[in-house]
Structure 1
Amino acid sequence: MTFQAASRAVDTVLDRSVVLGFSSVGPAVRRRLPGWPADPASGSLTGKVAAVTGATSGLGLATARGLAALGATVHLVVRDEEKGRRVRDELFAAVPGASVVVDRCDLGDLDDVRDLGERLAGGLDRLDVLVHNAGAMPSERTESPQGHELTMSLHVLAPVLLTDLLAPVLTDGARVLFVTSGGMYGQRLVEDDLEYERGDYSPTTAYARSKRLQVELLPLLQRRWPSTSVYATHPGWADTPGVQTSLPRFRQVMRPVLRDADGGAETTVWLAATDPAPEGGTLWHDRRQRPFHLLPTTRPRLGAVDDAWAWVRAQADLA
């Protein structure tokens, strides 16, 4: 067996074990294996413009910091404008010479998303990187102002709508990245109950179902925005404010091996800047393309993804 083949085998074992691959053990081992992809070149995003949703803490903040450090002008898309300004000032201090702009938007409200999309499309000459990171895990079933189950609206409808609105300023070769979750590996696409209207509501299940739909839609979204490269990245298990608030027991047990936020955002930043761009419509973790499914039971039935896409288009009022 060659060194490269052995490296791939070790990487696959880490990935399929979940605990080792998703925890801080994964990158600690993978970085030492032959074939670990090179870091983006210093200044590789100079002159480019990026937007990151949910950018005031956790993975979003780490992503914004990483993109700014590579030279990008970064738009922080935030719900709390005052907090966004504080984070902007922190980034100025952390990344000398950084160019950071704050844009307010409640991504749980599709009307607000439309307003943001129109403002950015009218005010920007270009957008090279768009990172859909904003997320939530409400403790009970919650609806958006438009009446949609909140996790599905926030994680699927809002990002798809915003990208469509920004299509006129997305440059040739722009990167569109959905920050998904490894939790989606445990869920199948429930295309006939996307709003979680049946059964007892589970916050973790709702969250994972919405992330499952993100991943299943990747090939379709790549075809819709063919001049871009569309990806999803899953961060593994990272010690973020969202995990601390929504999954306190999980954090208590796993805290010694959780990644920090920079570790969780690392592949997102790498994909935004690496050259040449890898194949789009794909899922990534620790700088490698990953399968959509680890279990045969999560594979969608024939036509399910098309049905779900028709629902997304209708709810987001896409042509």
Structure 2
Amino acid sequence: MTHPTWTDRLARLVDTALDRSVVLGYPATGHAVRRRLPTWPADPPRNALSGKHVLVTGASSGLGIRTAVDLAMLGAHVHLVVRDPMKAAPVREQLDEVAAGRHTTWRCDLSDQASVRAFAAAYLATGLPVDGLVHNAGIMPPTRQEDAQGRELTMSVHVLGPVALTEALLPALAAARDGARVVFVTSGGMYSQALDLDDLDFRPEPYRGAVAYARSKRAQVELLPILARRWGRHRISVYAAHPGWAASPGVTSSLPGFARLTAPVLRRGAAGVDTTTWLIAATPAPPSGGLWHDRSERPTSYLSRTRASDAERQELWQWVARHAGIAD
């Protein structure tokens, strides 16, 4: 048995201090410092995803573009799953430079269960496996909106749609040669919120978009243990990845004050998607069912008021399964 050296112990103390401080760990400084610690996991080899098929939702803007490009640079055939294929033209141009012939664009509106089922059926018809699935698509509308089924839009796009899509793609995920990996791109905003099982549709007025966003991300994280057990039967690992404070059009448009205040220190480029791509490509696969940030598993709650019980998680799952059309 190998015991940690004093340098490893010091590195873990530094990592924990960065994590708990938030203002040091979440910006670009956190990633820059951690990469230099001796405990930083090794980068995947350049061909780590050669011959593999990885789907990225919301791949036409922000973190989705960089995620798709970085996965392609690791050898993956990247499938861009977007609501409007025309808007994916910029990322296709970038992919042509690094992965010509190794990318495909698909239309899928995650807020519409019929669209989710249609896309999944079309993909399954190709006979291709799904080695990785990145649930990156995200929204933060300023006013309350509903999806095609009458559910609140933020919860639909962040939770119901991704879970329904994963379930519909289970045959292709189960066909992955080395086991598949599913990553939900979450947010540190969820640390401020607890599950509100009495209001998963965010009906009280006034509607607060940032709160709805954070609660939907909390729901993603609380579902992880259930999804890990459910999908683990098919050799599928599932994770949530917190990117830190990363620059994106979504942050600028939805949280302009925060974006202006933090602009000098926001993560840019690969730093904002590093953990997402690492979770898809690392060998061996990291342990399933947890929340990850800067290549380390993190606590899902720091406040007692935000901790969910197993019974609450199960009630959340029953709500999700019912509204996502999943036979439990």
TM-score class, shorter-chain normalisation, is over 0.9
- Match in the other structure for 1:34: 38
C-alpha distance in structure 2 between counterparts of 1:260 and 1:195, whole Å: 33
C-alpha distance in structure 2 between counterparts of 1:60 and 1:76, whole Å: 9
**Is 1:290 equivalent to 2:289 in the alignment?**
no
Give the drift of 1:302.
5.3
Report the secondary structure of 2:25's partner residue: helix
Give the drift of 1:130.
0.3
- The CA RMSD over aligned residues, in Å, is 1.2
Deviates more, 1:101-110 or 1:271-280: 101-110
Distance 1:302 1:103, change over 3 A: closer
- Match in the other structure for 1:47: 51
Structural mapping, 1:101-112, within 5 Å: 101-112=104-115
- Match in the other structure for 1:216: 222
Deviates more, 1:297-306 or 1:157-166: 297-306
- Match in the other structure for 1:186: 192
- Unmatched tracts of structure 1, length 5 or more: none
Distance 1:9 1:75, change over 3 A: same
**Is 1:309 equivalent to 2:317 in the alignment?**
yes
Contact 1:85 1:102 survives alignment (8 Å): no
| Number of residues of Structure 1 aligned to a counterpart in Structure 2 | 318
Amino acid in structure 1 at the alignment position of 2:112:
D
Deviates more, 1:261-270 or 1:159-168: 261-270
Distance 1:296 1:46, change over 3 A: same
Report the secondary structure of 2:131's partner residue: strand
Distance 1:119 1:230, change over 3 A: same
Give the drift of 1:197.
1.3
Give me the identity figure in percent. Answer: 54
Contact 1:191 1:305 survives alignment (8 Å): no
Deviates more, 1:240-249 or 1:117-126: 117-126
**Is 1:66 equivalent to 2:70 in the alignment?**
yes
TM-score (norm 2): 0.94
- Unmatched tracts of structure 2, length 5 or more: none
C-alpha distance in structure 2 between counterparts of 1:45 and 1:123, whole Å: 19
Amino acid in structure 2 at the alignment position of 1:265:
V
- Match in the other structure for 2:270: 262
Runs (4+) of structure 1 exceeding 6 A deviation are none
C-alpha distance in structure 2 between counterparts of 1:291 and 1:98, whole Å: 40
- Match in the other structure for 1:228: 236
**Is 1:6 equivalent to 2:7 in the alignment?**
no
Give the drift of 1:199.
4.1
- Match in the other structure for 1:83: 87
C-alpha distance in structure 2 between counterparts of 1:122 and 1:204, whole Å: 38
TM-score (norm 1): 0.97
C-alpha distance in structure 2 between counterparts of 1:86 and 1:13, whole Å: 39
